[in-house]
Structure 1
């Protein structure tokens, strides 16, 4: 039972010079289906100089369930969040950013999930707007998720709901003292290990995570390699302290090798970075691979990332750049092979593949193995062995609501075809085909009003790439049959019109 007068949820928001970017968050809090007397929002103004503090004071004066605290500028979200925890009265605490926003029923659904499953931590489905959000984690509801049985490690931002007594019981706070990168990782990883029950709510998009167009949020600046990777080592030490050597520790460590290290040294991200910065990052990553990770950490990566780790470990920065130039052209390519509408449902058949520029991603036969073909020499076939990944390659079809960014995995039947290169070699590439039936009475729990785009999502050999499909489903109301706009016909009409003008 909740004490009388105690809010169910406290939303803690660090705010610094956010200007108009805070308006979406404020509006979403005022629209919450959870009654205003059952939650509170605590904005901690981190010494703003642009009028944000005054805006928050006016907001608090108008709405009793909103509070504004003011502190001298700390320069980082950790201290405002910690002060928000101390000021919070709610049974649960949710950490939000000032440029993000909530779906209308988010707090009510998250709280109900927490109470139903007695959860210390609840993770609500996120939609990304210019920012990456976890995909596999939100494929289904997970009401007793652990680091062993689910991809919790893919979600390390603090935009979650935590039982306040749980935070206090274990002294879970964000590290302070300057600009400490990965401050959310430090808290969230500990919380995962200590939580008695963790739930993932995937059937309703709760939180919208946005990248500001002006990129002025405090964590957007380019990292300083030495201090950043010191923070990475600190989080890796947390994992090491809570696990024994073996597959689980390797899998968890692999998350930081993949996301914080390898992904900074590949593709457009590497090519767009200053050369001296790349050299520093490569040196830091090389040291961590050699000194911290067991061999199973890199060995469990897909072949492309294994290749990047291999080149980094051996100090081959020039080859990293050569590989990045090639990978920067990799994209998913998809097409509609069949479209069969019914009264409330539409059946779509999709074909898709990965290409670099105009060439399909290829695999070479080598002693019964599929070996990824890359434009870099002297990488052993063992590093590039893609046999397991080719076997597990998949094609998903995803519906994305254009107005909100909600993404729904559609049920598919899919198969993969091996196509020979036709150049006299034993190289093959993969063409994936999938069929899905979209029932617009059931899609997104029947909440279908809006315009829905389709994407083919190809996962293979270290890439997950989306290919936009030329279909738009327009639903004027929830659960009604959609109007289908086939963009292929639009483009064909435009091409024909242009051709007619040229002939004149």
Structure 2
């Protein structure tokens, strides 16, 4: 029996009716069934999933079905399939998703041509399910996690060179949620190159009609704790302290630590938070969250992390509970900097530095050009509005910046006379603004 190029691994639990489309999308790949093995693991389903897999296997010799008792996680059936996979590459396909017909051929060709260990195929949302977009803005034949947005997506729906996984003895930890992130992180951190296929819709990502995706049913913060700790430990194990580690750690601080705290912590009982979750999270912050990481985060995350560092449990609970209301608070201008007027800003004993509330570089500038005309004296007259919402202008100054895009010329900056004016009444902008005349 010849060795297949790709082993497609499908963990399946009560996956009907989406399962049929999923398996057929693998069977119909243009790379050809002689280049594929499809390993579907029925994880103790009770809805006819096992019967449907057997029916499909009877029509396709490339489909192998394994039946087992329910494990409660996608990790175990993936590992079972990995243990028997023979392909040069492994692709993980969830049973509620499906592939574009030419997806595997394109991804294998990309890996072969560029000798890369991991290939990301463009993901497409079906029915509104969130998918990563930044990494798929352009095709990248060969890149890495430090010079691309690849590390932003830690789902395992990717093409992995199987020799990489076997060299690392890499398997999924048996968690209900966040089980794929440590797996993918470990692979990324040891990969010889990453490729991105962005010019073809490779992977269609959807929620099940019955809403029983593990991602949706295992939503408590407690379901994520083990996987999150393992993410931090994985990065610390493979990268020395410094800028590169901070760059990768930032992803986990934002998405696995701060994000779930804001929207999941209050689902837990206060007793569990105080006795189990809070001490664990404080340990993560003490061990792995550096000042350079905090400096790059949005203000509310900076505030949260400083409170955790200072061991202010009650304040942590209060800022999370009042997050929506506090987000609407205004700003204070002091010493040429703009600060978020949060109740803890310069509060005695809070232990939070002003830098945590500094939003100077994050305020959006609203602007619009209203008219442009040449005057009889040869000057160009521009009118428009530019302002920062909720921040008063102390010393208005405006420059007209001229750039030539057809040649390598330096930009030209021309001072402009500034006159206060009412904001445009019909475009949804604020009522205050600045009108600039440039000559």
Contact 2:140–2:197 under 8 Å retained in 1? yes
Counterpart Cα distance in 2 of 1:64 and 1:270: 45
Superposed, which structure 2 residues align to 1:20-419 within 5 Å? 20-129=17-126, 130-176=128-174, 179=175, 181-222=177-218, 225=221, 228-266=224-262, 269-270=263-264, 273-274=267-268, 276=270, 281-313=277-309, 314-315=312-313, 316=315, 317-327=317-327, 363-374=331-342, 377=345, 378=347, 380-390=353-363, 417-419=386-388
- CA 1:244–1:291: 2 relative to 1, 3 Å: closer
Contact 1:322–1:376 under 8 Å retained in 2? no
Contact 1:420–1:427 under 8 Å retained in 2? no
Contact 1:95–1:161 under 8 Å retained in 2? yes
1:19 is paired with a residue whose SS is coil
Output one character per residue of 1:331-351: Cα deviation in whole Å (capped at 9) or x when no partner.
xxxxxxxxxxxxxxxxxxxxx
- CA 1:5–1:84: 2 relative to 1, 3 Å: same
Counterpart Cα distance in 2 of 1:159 and 1:323: 33
Shift of 1:312: 4.3
Contact 1:42–1:66 under 8 Å retained in 2? yes
Counterpart Cα distance in 1 of 2:395 and 2:285: 32
Contact 2:120–2:197 under 8 Å retained in 1? yes
- CA 1:364–1:324: 2 relative to 1, 3 Å: same
TM-score (norm 1): 0.66
Which deviates further from its counterpart, 118-127 or 291-300?
Answer: 291-300
- CA 1:86–1:50: 2 relative to 1, 3 Å: same
Contact 2:9–2:40 under 8 Å retained in 1? yes
Shift of 1:81: 0.9
Shift of 1:95: 0.5
Shift of 1:117: 0.9
Counterpart Cα distance in 1 of 2:306 and 2:56: 54
Shift of 1:90: 1.9
Give the paired residue count.
368
Which deviates further from its counterpart, 108-117 or 383-392?
Answer: 383-392
Shift of 1:364: 4.0
Counterpart Cα distance in 2 of 1:231 and 1:258: 15
Shift of 1:122: 0.6
Shift of 1:325: 4.2
Unaligned 5+ runs, structure 1: 328-355, 395-414, 429-504
1:17 aligns with 2:14: yes
Shift of 1:282: 4.7
Contact 2:8–2:39 under 8 Å retained in 1? yes
Shift of 1:115: 1.1
Contact 1:323–1:374 under 8 Å retained in 2? no
Contact 2:366–2:389 under 8 Å retained in 1? no
Output one character per residue of 1:172-197: Cα deviation in whole Å (capped at 9) or x when no partner.
22224xx3542212221111121112
Shift of 1:244: 1.4
1:144 is paired with a residue whose SS is strand
TM-score (norm 2): 0.74
Runs of 4+ in structure 1 over 6 Å off = 391-394, 424-428
Counterpart Cα distance in 2 of 1:271 and 1:90: 42
- CA 1:196–1:389: 2 relative to 1, 3 Å: same
Counterpart Cα distance in 2 of 1:143 and 1:166: 19
Output one character per residue of 1:226-285: Cα deviation in whole Å (capped at 9) or x when no partner.
67323322221111111111122122122121111211233xx35973563666645532
1:237 is paired with a residue whose SS is helix
Counterpart Cα distance in 1 of 2:109 and 2:10: 22
Contact 2:365–2:387 under 8 Å retained in 1? no
- CA 1:233–1:288: 2 relative to 1, 3 Å: same
Contact 1:13–1:97 under 8 Å retained in 2? yes
Which deviates further from its counterpart, 374-383 or 71-80?
Answer: 374-383
Which deviates further from its counterpart, 23-32 or 233-242?
Answer: 23-32
